Structure 1
Amino acid sequence: MPIRYFIKQWLLPPGVLFLLLLSAWWLRRRRPRLAAVCFVAGLGGLWMTSLPVAVQYLARALETEPALAGQDWAGLKQRADAIVVLGAGRERGDPAWAGVDQPTPTALERLRFAARLAKASGLPVLTSGGLHYGTPPSEARLMADSLHDDFGIEVKWLEQASRTTWENAQHSASVLEPLGIRRVVVVTQAWHMQRSRWSFEQAGFEVVPAPVGFLGRDPARPFAGWLPESRAMWQSGQLLNEVAGLVGYRLFY
């Protein structure tokens, strides 16, 4: 896992863009034209990935599933048998929580939405997410604890073996299929839902998408989102990682 993570960080922005800038410096004397191309690509890529408006347009291409209308929440019990919340990492050792790992802000966004859906529909909840580089507790356990402590929701099942979206689906199937559960509400980020739905359908589920955290909206920033922001660079990285995931899943699964 660390090797794969290391390679991925240099193949996707901003890592690959820094490599382009380093290549431009290295080639500046021997191959000045190629160096100029690398410099323009690297600097231009850094600028584009830092723009909220670029995040908006890329997110719109990925966020193909519409939001689940509020008036439909109570009726989910007629369309599904369980709610599945996908893990989104952890925050390590925050002193404010006595050093106990916590779900990331992205995971909390999913948990809050899942809690609302569970209260409205009465559906049982499964949290899905394995260990972080082999270190307990699992993401599923962290999410279950947060749902109980912060939102008053008891989680019925924990899937604690998965490390990827594909494994989220496969291992969730191993938990729910013996119980005859084949219809699930999947809660994840809107930009992640396309790959998540495909993965769960490949595992044999009938999926009701419940996307949250849409990024393809008007950024409502000064100058229409054309000024660089550090947050936009992080969001661009997430979206480009998702694009790579969509391509990779179609090729390898």
Structure 2
Amino acid sequence: MPLRYILKQLVLPPGGLLLLLLVGWWLRRRSPRVAAACFVLGFAGLWLLSLPITVEWAARALEREPALAEVEWAGLAQRADAIVVLGSGREKDDPAWGGDQPSALAVERLRYAARLAKVSGLPVLTSGGLHYGQPPSEAALMAQVLARDFGVTVRWQEGLSRTTWENASYSADMLREAGIKRVVLVTQAGHMPRSRWSFERVGFTVIPAPVGFLGVPNARPLGGWLPESKAVWQSGMLLNEAVGLLAYPLVYR
């Protein structure tokens, strides 16, 4: 897990682009032309990925599943057997809460899952492993938040997964025992294509319930053409999903 994490940070922005700039600096005397190309690509890449308009355009290409219409929520009990909400990391030792907490993205998913659960009456499974290699798991943290803050009791906790594929396969192991074959899947809109593919691959019928859409008008000054630090992070997430969509069918056959 640490090696995978390190490689991921080195390849995805801004790590990969900073490495490109470093290579350009290292080659500035040995090969000025190659160094110049590295500098141009590195700076251009950082600038492009820091633009909210880039995030908006990229997200539109990835966010394939439409939002679940509110009029459909009550009827989910006839179309599905359970709600599965995927983890998205955790924050370590937050002093305000006296311990680890789900990330902001995870809380966004939990809020939506709680609303769907209350309207539909479907049972909930939380999925997410040991983000820092030690307990509590993401699944346990999410279950606590759902119970304490949203009044929703979680029936199943899948606390071993480290990847989206493992979210699907380990959840399948638990839900098959309960006869669950149809799930409402809650995750970020950009993460939904890879997540849906994984859950369908292990045998589920999936009703997508995406949240956190980024492919909407960015509402930034000058239409989103000014650099913004948040956009670099969002661009990295979207690029990770694009790579995952290409890699998963090759790795998980």
What range describes the TM-score normalised by the shorter chain of this pair?
Answer: over 0.9
Match of 2:49 in 1: 49
Match of 1:241 in 2: 240
**Partner SS state of residue 203, structure 2:** coil
**Does residue 1:204 correspond to 2:178, yes or no?**
no
1:40-59 CA distances to partner (integer Å, 9 max, x unpaired)?
A: 10000000110000000000
Match of 2:227 in 1: 228
Match of 1:11 in 2: 11
In 2, the alpha carbon distance for the partners of 1:97 and 1:123 equals 29
User: CA offset at residue 248 of structure 1?
Assistant: 1.5
Amino acid paired to 2:238 = L
Match of 2:88 in 1: 88
1:55-79 CA distances to partner (integer Å, 9 max, x unpaired)?
A: 0000011100000000000000011
Match of 1:122 in 2: 121
**Does residue 1:102 correspond to 2:94, yes or no?**
no
Match of 2:77 in 1: 77
In 1, the alpha carbon distance for the partners of 2:43 and 2:33 equals 15
In 2, the alpha carbon distance for the partners of 1:82 and 1:155 equals 11
In 2, the alpha carbon distance for the partners of 1:29 and 1:157 equals 59
In 2, the alpha carbon distance for the partners of 1:225 and 1:59 equals 14
TM-score normalised to structure 2 length: 0.98
- Percent identity (aligned): 69
In structure 1, the gaps of 5 or more residues are none
**Does residue 1:23 correspond to 2:39, yes or no?**
no
1:92-241 to 2 correspondence within 5 Å? 92-98=92-98, 100-241=99-240
In 2, the alpha carbon distance for the partners of 1:225 and 1:130 equals 36
Q: Give 4+ residue runs of structure 1 displaced > 3 Å after superposition.
A: none
**Partner SS state of residue 92, structure 1:** strand
In 1, the alpha carbon distance for the partners of 2:23 and 2:153 equals 53
Amino acid paired to 1:182 = K
Amino acid paired to 1:229 = E
**Partner SS state of residue 93, structure 1:** strand
In 1, the alpha carbon distance for the partners of 2:130 and 2:20 equals 34
In 1, the alpha carbon distance for the partners of 2:206 and 2:8 equals 29
In 2, the alpha carbon distance for the partners of 1:204 and 1:20 equals 42
TM-score normalised to structure 1 length: 0.98
In structure 2, the gaps of 5 or more residues are none
**Partner SS state of residue 101, structure 1:** strand
In 2, the alpha carbon distance for the partners of 1:5 and 1:88 equals 14
User: CA offset at residue 179 of structure 1?
Assistant: 1.3
In 2, the alpha carbon distance for the partners of 1:28 and 1:152 equals 60
User: CA offset at residue 244 of structure 1?
Assistant: 1.4
User: CA offset at residue 133 of structure 1?
Assistant: 3.3
**Partner SS state of residue 96, structure 1:** coil
1:206-235 CA distances to partner (integer Å, 9 max, x unpaired)?
A: 000000000000101100000000111110
Q: How big is the alpha-carbon RMSD for the aligned residues of Structure 1 and Structure 2?
A: 0.6
1:92-125 CA distances to partner (integer Å, 9 max, x unpaired)?
A: 0011112x10000000000000000001100000
1:13-63 CA distances to partner (integer Å, 9 max, x unpaired)?
A: 111100111111111111111111100100000001100000000001110
Amino acid paired to 1:250 = P
Aligned length, in residue pairs: 252
1:169-226 CA distances to partner (integer Å, 9 max, x unpaired)?
A: 0001000011111000000000000000000000100000000000000101100000
